Chains A and B, each alone.
Chain A
Amino acid sequence: NAGVTQTPKFQVLKTGQSMTLQCAQDMNHEYMSWYRQDPGMGLRLIHYSVGAGITDQGEVPNGYNVSRSTTEDFPLRLLSAAPSQTSVYFCASSKGDRVETQYFGPGTRLLVL
């Protein structure tokens, strides 16, 4: 199993541009989530999904959209990038009966100029 994969690994955007961060898992996990991590800080939950077709907001959802059309994929869309969204983004997945035991991807480093 590849586990949780994320693409791209690194991205530079200009203010106002949009983009999609990709996340995929091959473990048939029901639960998936997106976190962001700013320098010297812990992870903050952006959005999460408990299954295909079901998403909900986390702690810091503003400026981000998600959808979950399949069990495997959970893309994160930045609608209009802002410098405040410069961060490292992590995707995670877990089984529905133990959602706190999460498997994280390697992260996407985003720089917004």
Chain B
Amino acid sequence: DAKTTQPPSMDCAEGRAANLPCNHSTISGNEYVYWYRQIHSQGPQYIIHGLKNNETNEMASLIITEDRKSSTLILPHATLRDTAVYYCIPSAGGTSYGKLTFGQGTILTVHP
């Protein structure tokens, strides 16, 4: 699995967009990029995933660079409830049988 680099922590003002970067320069061609978050004391929550194209759902947008070496998760209008640890996880599926490798992630703090 590809290794990832995420900033340890970020701050964001409530109502503003939160842009969380992830570097995955060793990602292989068949690996998707998954994003999860974990709110304090809760189980992780799936947010979004993508392979090459940018993706958007009701929670967030995912921007993947053309060379696929990095991606950015965008929370368009952050709220206090978005304060959590955000994990960027490359995964190929198939023989990895869904083994998600959770690193240290980015602690996002949304403040009033």
Q: Which residues of A contact B (CB under 8 A)?
A: 4, 31, 33, 35, 42-45, 48, 50, 56, 58-59, 90, 92, 94, 98-107
Q: Which residues of B contact A (CB under 8 A)?
A: 32, 34, 41-46, 49, 87, 89, 91, 93, 97-105
Is the Cβ of A102 less than 8 Å from the Cβ of B42? no
Residue from the set B43, B44, B45, B87 with the largest chain A CB neighbour count within 10 Å: B43
Interface of chain B, helix or strand or loop or mixed? loop
Please list the 3 inter-chain residue pairs (A to B) with the smallest Cβ-Cβ separation, ordered nearest first: A99-B98, A104-B43, A42-B102
Is the Cβ of B42 less than 8 Å from the Cβ of A100? no
Q: A42-B102, A43-B100, A43-B102 known; A100 and B44 CB under 8 Å?
A: no
Cβ distance A106 to chain B, nearest Cβ, rounded Å: 6
Cβ distance A41 to chain B, nearest Cβ, rounded Å: 8
Q: A42-B87, A90-B44, A92-B43 known; A102 and B97 CB under 8 Å?
A: no
Is the Cβ of A107 less than 8 Å from the Cβ of B42? yes
Is the Cβ of B105 less than 8 Å from the Cβ of A42? yes
Chain A residues within an 8 Å CB radius of B103: 42
Is the Cβ of A101 less than 8 Å from the Cβ of B43? no
